[in-house]
Amino acid sequence: MSKKDYYEVLGINRDASDEEIKKAYRKLAMKHHPDRNPDNPKAEEHFKEAKEAYEMLSDGQKRAAYDQYGHAAFESGGMGGGSAGGAGAAGFDFSDIFGDIFGGGRGGGGRSNVHRGADLRYNMEVTLEQAARGTETQIRVPTMAECETCKGTGAKPGTNPTSCTTCGGHGQVRMQQGFFSIQQACPRCHGTGKMIASPCKDCNGGGRIKKHKTLSVKIPAGVDNDDRIRLSGEGENGVNGGPPGDLYVVIHTKPHAVFQRDHNDLHCEMPISFSTAALGGEIEIPTLDSVAHIKIPAETQSGKIFRLRGKGIKGVRSSSHGDLHCHVIVETPVNLTERQKELLRELEAINATNSGHHNPRAKSWMDKVKDFFGT
């Protein structure tokens, strides 16, 4: 055993934290490892000193004994030897340095085989009325549940899984790459740490089977497309006792026969007759709750938008309702009688005598066309 002061070997203060000890050791181990210093005969000696110091100071009980009695605490049996003698570079395990990167750690027993269940997604279609007012419905969701026959063990009833002989039940194996020791999932048991000689016939050894469950879902008023409703713990069951995942219900609104939604606002098209547009009048339009009336002023043009405040939707995160926008469309009459055609020809003839006065938009457009062609 080295008689050098362990704190001096690592170059740290006596009140150094565990993280500072580990950091100092990592730096020295990388610097003095014999594989990286083949032409320096003293490198292995420095390397062993650093490893010995780290093994003592990283153990709380040994460090306390060393701080009180020095090297005498480990002589003649003392606390038990921590000597690095004989620990050549080829047999050195770097898991104590790089365990936090590759998994495991000093004296580690492999990664945990307990895993959280997967989250699930369910696409739900609702009507515009249901989205606006809210509703409660039931859904049937496919999921992976614990096999009732084997109680999740994956083994045939009356038998039990055995520890994997390759990884010793840890689920992880250590692979040597150069002077790095890398931990990865066992290729034989695929990280489960178990071997099943007689698989359960119902789940084929997986421990879980596909089932359907019925859930009640409350849709809050004002939800919009792609809004998600989270049902905690209603996803797939965890593996080896792990917690279940969550279920996310994603909202999709069905197309509506009358309204189109734009966030909290609603839009609709309202056809009106030529005479109503020219002379004015009152029309009745639907809303989500009832009906409303709009006064159409005389000489209203096609495409004019009338806004009804507060007749839209109150969103989930809104404090007030949106608006309803009514787009007026002047409808051209069809299936005309001879008398109607005669009256329209008469009207056209009257308009032709002073088209600029009766058709200002048409005159303005024609003036622009003339300017374009320079006539």
**Can you point out the beta strands (E) in the chain?**
120-126, 135-146, 162-163, 172-177, 180-185, 194-195, 208-219, 228-231, 247-253, 260-262, 265-272, 281-286, 291-296, 305-308, 324-330
70-127, pLDDT tens digit by residue?
777 666 444 444 443 433 433 344 444 444 433 444 434 444 556 788 888 999 999 9
What pLDDT is stored for residue 90 in this prediction? 37
Query: Could you give the count of Cα atoms lying within 13 Å of 184 in the half-sphere of its Cβ?
Result: 8
pLDDT greater at residue 299 or residue 326: 326
Q: Which of 52-56, 267-271, 369-373 has the lowest mean pLDDT?
A: 369-373
What pLDDT is stored for residue 167 in this prediction? 82
Is residue 5 within 8 A of residue 60, CB to CB? The reply is no
Q: Which of 219-223, 301-305, 355-359 has the lowest mean pLDDT?
A: 355-359
Looking at residues 256-276, what average pLDDT do you find? 91
Phi first, then psi: give them for residue 363, nearest 5 degrees.
Answer: -65, -45
State which of 83-92, 124-133, 198-207, 351-360 shows the largest mean pLDDT.
124-133
CATH number of 260-330: 2.60.260.20
Q: So what CATH class is 120-253? A: mainly beta
Reported as a pLDDT band with limits 50, 70 and 90, residue 161 is confident
- Does CATH number 1.10.287.110 belong to domain 6-92? yes
Residue 266 confidence (pLDDT) above 90: yes
Reported as a pLDDT band with limits 50, 70 and 90, residue 351 is confident
Query: Could you give the count of Cα atoms lying within 13 Å of 209 in the half-sphere of its Cβ?
Result: 15
Instruction: Specify the amino acid at residue 242.
Output: G
What pLDDT is stored for residue 375 in this prediction? 61
Q: How far is Cα 87 from Cα 48, in angstroms, rounded to an integer?
A: 7
What pLDDT is stored for residue 64 in this prediction? 80
Looking at residues 215-226, what average pLDDT do you find? 92
Percent share of the chain, pLDDT over 90:
23
| E strand or H helix at 57 | helix 43-57
Looking at residues 319-327, what average pLDDT do you find? 92
Where do the domains of the chain lie? Answer: 6-92, 120-253, 260-330, 341-373
Looking at residues 317-338, what average pLDDT do you find? 90
Looking at residues 359-368, what average pLDDT do you find? 62
Q: pTM of the prediction?
A: 0.54
**Mode of pairing for the β-strands spanning 228-231 and 247-253:** antiparallel
What pLDDT is stored for residue 16 in this prediction? 87
Phi-psi region of 310 (alpha: psi -120 to 50; beta: other; left: phi over 0): left
What pLDDT is stored for residue 78 in this prediction? 46
Q: How many residues are recorded in the chain? A: 375
Q: Kindly tell me the burial class for residue 215, based on how many C-beta atoms sit within 10 Å of its own C-beta (0-12, 13-18, 19 or more).
A: middle
3-state secondary structure of 163: strand
3-state secondary structure of 237: coil
In sequence order, what are the residues at sequence separation of 6 or more whose Cβ sits closer than 8 angstroms to the Cβ of residue 44?
32, 34, 88, 89
Joined together, the tokens standing for residue 66 give 């060393």
Distance of CA 233 to the CA centre of its chain: 15
What pLDDT is stored for residue 102 in this prediction? 39
In sequence order, what are the residues at sequence separation of 6 or more whose Cβ sits closer than 8 angstroms to the Cβ of residue 290?
none
What pLDDT is stored for residue 360 in this prediction? 61
127-147, pLDDT tens digit by residue?
999 999 999 999 998 877 788
282-314, pLDDT tens digit by residue?
988 889 888 899 999 998 888 899 999 999 999
What pLDDT is stored for residue 179 in this prediction? 58
pLDDT greater at residue 74 or residue 322: 322
Joined together, the tokens standing for residue 220 give 């809050």
Q: Which of 39-43, 60-64, 98-102, 226-230 has the lowest mean pLDDT?
A: 98-102
Looking at residues 342-356, what average pLDDT do you find? 77
On average, the pLDDT of the chain sits at 80
Measured over the CA atoms of residue 363, residue 368, residue 372 and residue 375, the dihedral's sign is: positive
Residue 202 confidence (pLDDT) above 70: yes
Residue 268 confidence (pLDDT) above 90: yes
Q: Kindly tell me the burial class for residue 281, based on how many C-beta atoms sit within 10 Å of its own C-beta (0-12, 13-18, 19 or more).
A: middle
